[in-house]
Amino acid sequence: MAGDEFRLVRDSRWQRALLRAALAMTLLAAVALGYWLGGRTAELDREYLASVERIRVSQATVIARLNRELIDARLAQSVDQQAAQSLRNVVSDLRNDVEGLKEEVVFYKSLMAPSTLTKGLQIADFQVLGVEEGSEFAFQLLLTQAQVRRDWVKGTVTLAVRGALQGAGGEGQKVLSFADLDGQAAYPLKFRFRYFQNLAGRIRLPEGFAPEAVLVTATPSGSGAEVLERSFPWPQPAG
């Protein structure tokens, strides 16, 4: 057998088996890693969504609280403004009441302790109380008597209104007697009192007549009695 050559042939079946095993383990590890990464990603997603939801709920809570505080602040401001306006109205009413009381005190003092300048019958005041219907006006006239010793005084009062009458012929100054106007009082007005008396009535002015002043004439009864005259401006509408 001299001269024969021998060769060692390595069996590769084991190598292939080891290679397959290594590949299988690598694949298994990759699958496991992918599964772990997938689970971790889902967990991170859930945590992220939970965090976003918590932030949203927190923001919604803060916004709701701020809205309530804003509504409360506006309500408090409105209440404060209403209270302040109400207080201003009360103060204004009280001031008007005080001024009215002062005028009444002066009035009654003049009656109880007349000065030398205001003795005798006086045409104290004339007021237009308001429009009741169309051009119908209510009025009130105050007469007083200031004497140390007061006797009854009586007589009559006539009234007239001066103003501008607009018509087809143009404007013109007119003096209209209350007796010629459509009213509910008998003219002349009669008075009889010791201290003071209010005379009231209503008149209807003609259409197109713009009143400017009221002329009052008081004529006491008795010989030698002094006739009194006084004019009062017609009140202008507010605004």
Place of tokens 């010791």: 194
The architecture in CATH of the region 118-233 reads Sandwich (2.60)
Compute and round to an integer the Cα radius of gyration of the chain.
53
* Residues 196/109, Cβ–Cβ less than 8 Å: no
Residues 150-207 pLDDT 10s: 788 999 999 999 998 876 555 678 899 988 887 666 778 999 998 889 998 888 888 8
- Paired tokens of 69: 């505080």
- Any idea what DSSP says for residue 118? S
For residue range 206-239, list pLDDT tens digits in order.
Answer: 888 889 999 999 999 987 788 999 999 998 765 5
- Helical spans, DSSP H, in the chain: 13-112
Q: Angle at CA 72, nearest 5°, toward 71 and 76?
A: 120
Instruction: Please give the share of the chain, as a percent, with pLDDT higher than 70.
Output: 75
Measuring CA to CA, how many Å separate 198 from each of 110, 120, 167? Answer: 17, 17, 35
